[in-house]
Amino acid sequence: MNHMPIITMEEMIFHVGQMDKSLKQKGSLEGSGLSFSTEPKAWVRINPFTGGKLFELKKEGNQFLDYYSLTEEQQQEIIQWGIHEGYVTACPLYRVTYYDDEMDMDLCSLYSDKGIGEEEAEDYGVELEEEEGFVSTEKMERRVMSHGSLLAPLDLLTTIYVEDELSIDGVWWEEELDISRYSAPRGVIVESKVKEWEVILVDEHCY
């Protein structure tokens, strides 16, 4: 565990919802765990499906993997672990990168089907890039409550790795706070660790 970037969350963190897993929607960015943020108001504005009660989450000495501090070598270690454990399989992927005027930034799309990727690249007038990649298996899709196949799902695979191999509280994504670009800091507490946290109801109606 020592070689992975582990941090302690000192800031106040919050969950917006009902604290009822049966109500959790499939396709969450954080998988099957308990999502949280230091900026709950931002996430309510970013995601129209975010709503419910506001809870503060507390645990002294908490430990999270700092996702954006992972080195390329550490990322590959997680991917190879995922392949070995049957959560992902290696395959070629096809990337289309294009400029979005509204968001004023480059965006990209990934495809497992080269033909579809070529059509998209032609529509945007850009080159199709081929890369070594990986896709989710049914085993992973069940674990993270996915709608279906996931392309290069390193973020969700990392949540599984953290729970099964590191036995720490979860994963933290220190993302830029920019509502116009649908970005805000976020994290997840893995399922097996939720019971170790103090959950405090702050508001019956979140914003």
pLDDT of residue 21: 72
List the domain boundaries for the chain.
6-70+154-203, 74-143
The first and second tokens of residue 67, run together, are 């996702």
Q: Could you tell me the pTM of the whole model?
A: 0.89
**For residue 198, how many C-alpha atoms fall within 13 Å in the half-sphere facing its CB?**
8
107-166 pLDDT per residue, tens: 999 999 999 999 999 999 999 999 999 999 999 999 998 877 888 899 999 999 999 999
26-35 pLDDT per residue, tens: 667 678 899 9
**For residue 123, how many C-alpha atoms fall within 13 Å in the half-sphere facing its CB?**
9
pLDDT-above-90 percentage for the chain: 73
Distance separating alpha carbons of residues 76 and 99, to the nearest angstrom: 28
Contacts 24+ apart (CB under 8 A), 20-27: 21/191, 24/145, 25/49, 26/145, 26/146, 26/147, 27/145, 27/146, 27/147
Question: Scanning the structure block, which residue is given the tokens 């670009």?
Answer: 181
